[in-house]
Amino acid sequence: MATTADFKNGLCIEYNNDLYTIVQFQHVKPGKGPAFVRTKMRNVKTGRMLENTFNAGVKINVARIEHRPHQYLYNDEMGYNFMNAETFEQVSIPVELINCPELLKEGQNVDVIFHADTETVLYAELPPSVVMEVIYTEPGLKGDTSSSTALKAATVETNATIMVPLFVNQGDKIKIDTRDKSYMERVK
């Protein structure tokens, strides 16, 4: 058991018979009335965001979760298959539990999050950014290299389509943000 004083970003708690991770929290002590904690939480299973207010000092159940390094192997009709980097055990994860499956390459390292008490997979999390090679995009026009406001579609090596600036060409390596599938920068 913990209290609201133990809140921190990334903490996984049990709330309304479900698991939530705390994305953001703020302790508030108004001049009149008791203190409270405003939180933004993400449902582990559905990904929905929930805003909630807890009274200060309320007891909460903290869920024990473990981040285990895994390597992506392949996908089939059963789901996406990963191998534990330490024990070499394989686990199959449904596509709904992966934060950006279209950016997975064979051999890529990901964190698989397990509920420690039940040993069940909660979700798989890619690194914050990945580097991919552009395999197809329309060529940029001469004179469009300075503007980064206009975007065009580019297909990367995993066949995902990413919107990139006009100066990105076929064969370039780009860094992609896995949280929202957005272009970050060109990589040398």
d(CA 181, CA 163): 9
User: Strand pairing partners for 28?
Assistant: 36
Please give the mean pLDDT across all residues of the chain: 89
Q: Which of these ranges, 34-43, 65-74, 117-126, has the smallest mean pLDDT? A: 117-126
> pTM here?
0.74
- Per-residue pLDDT tens for 107-165? 999 999 998 888 888 888 899 999 999 999 988 766 655 555 788 899 999 999 999 98
What is the Cα Rg of the chain in Å? 21
Spell out the residues 6+ positions from residue 153 whose beta carbon is closer than 8 angstroms to its own: 137, 138, 161, 162, 163, 164
Write the single-letter amino acid at 71: Q
d(CA 131, CA 86): 24
Please give the domain boundaries of the chain with CATH numbers for all domains: 2-62 (2.30.30.30), 65-125 (2.40.50.140), 129-187 (2.40.50.140)
Write the single-letter amino acid at 176: I
Which tokens sit at 59?
């007891």
